[in-house]
Amino acid sequence: MRLATAALAALMALPAAAQAEGEVNIYSSRHYDTDERLYSDFEEATGITVNRIEDKANVLIERIKAEGANSPADILLTVDAGRLYVADQAGIFQPVQSDVLEERIPANLRHPDGHWFGFSTRGRAIFYDKAKVDPADIQSYKDLADPKLKGLVCTRSSSNIYMLSLMAAMVERLGEEDAKAWAEGLWANRARDPEGGDTDQLRGIASGQCAVAVANTYYFARAFTKDVRGLANPDDTDRIGIVFPDQDGAGTHVNVSAGGVVANAPNRENAIKFLEYLATDAAQKYFADGNNEYPVVEGVEASSAVEALGEFKADDMPLIKLGENQAKAQAIYNEVGYQ
């Protein structure tokens, strides 16, 4: 395993008995079997016991707020910069300074003051029916608003966190007026009113209800490795093509799975050790493979299912912008009547 710094090497090399013992309490919205190896390896390397509470992100955020100064939570693990922003605005995170994390995690994938750190990414790609759509017509997110796609596009609800983050990125790149025009065009091109999750958008292509959809990359990668109802038939996945938008421009919109140390963490040092552990090569593989995402540490390979989607240039926009623009994003959707 490639070692980044002396501090990281020291953490992982010392026998458990020689390291600080105790516990770390993790509130996580992740629920993947592969994460078990994350926790067991960390416990073995450090002697620190991992305690977990798992639930939906909004439930965990509200729980930490309700627990206040008496919260036992040391770490909050969740997804999407929008949710991280909500948690941070509620005072849930505290700043962390770590040479390991600053060296290993790209600057745009972490909070500028160390409130949270991204440990895996997902791309927001455009998927299409190969029999109905020319991929040359959907090379940019802006193309989704082109009238030539009228009646073909399926998306999630405008209140969905992924849709909000994508719009927040459009606001940052285009400005509010152009972002509003884009939202109007996208809404006019809908094949049906928004419904379901990302997998439902892909199923819409497989069933012929949609010809174009927007979804996170890991939803499609799952179809190659698991029995995803409605996409289990190889003919269904073969029917669907993928485009990574804006390769000649800013790059494809990405978001994160991330974690931060809770403001009143009773085991702060152990919490930082765990976050630093998530930046090791081995942990990066477990963390990213658990949800078919992309590792953030340079040189760590993604899973075979993710690699099969192809390489792409990712937008390097600081993800904190997605949270800062979230309210504007929802206001624009509301203004144009996007459900």
Which contiguous run of DSSP H or E holds residue 88? helix 81-89
What is the residue range of 181's domain?
Answer: 123-252+319-336
Q: Are residues 22 and 169 in the same domain?
A: no
Please give the average per-residue pLDDT across 149-155, as a whole number: 98
CB half-sphere exposure, 166, CA atoms < 13 A: 27
Q: Is 287 exposed, middle or buried (0-12, 13-18, 19+ CB in 10 A)?
A: buried
> Comparing C-alpha atoms, which of 237, 329, 254, 246 is closest to residue 79?
254
Q: Are residues 141 and 239 in the same domain?
A: yes
More confident position, 289 or 107: 107
pLDDT digits (tens, 9 = 90+) for 20-72: 479 999 999 988 877 899 999 999 999 999 999 999 999 999 999 999 999 99
* Residue 120 dihedral angles phi and psi, to the nearest 5°: -155, 155
Please give the average per-residue pLDDT across 286-300, as a whole number: 93
83: tokens are 């949710």
Q: Are residues 23 and 110 in the same domain?
A: yes
Does 87 reside within a domain? yes
Determine whether the annotation assigns residue 219 to a binding site. Answer: yes
Does 313 reside within a domain? no
> Whole-angstrom Cα distance, residue 85 to residue 96?
16
Please give the average per-residue pLDDT across 185-194, as a whole number: 97
Does 274 reside within a domain? yes
Q: Are residues 46 and 58 in the same domain?
A: yes
Determine whether the annotation assigns residue 31 to a binding site. Answer: yes
Q: Are residues 38 and 180 in the same domain?
A: no
Structural domain count, the chain: 2
Q: Are residues 54 and 100 in the same domain?
A: yes
Q: Are residues 154 and 112 in the same domain?
A: no
Does 180 reside within a domain? yes
Residue 230 confidence (pLDDT) above 60: no
> What's the whole-number average pLDDT of the chain?
91
pLDDT at 205: 94
User: What is the distance in angstroms between the CA of the first residue and the CA of the last residue of the chain?
Assistant: 48
pLDDT digits (tens, 9 = 90+) for 260-283: 999 999 999 999 999 999 999 999
User: Collapsing DSSP states into helix, strand and coil, what is residue 24?
Assistant: strand
Determine whether the annotation assigns residue 162 to a binding site. Answer: no
Does 307 reside within a domain? no
pLDDT at 33: 78
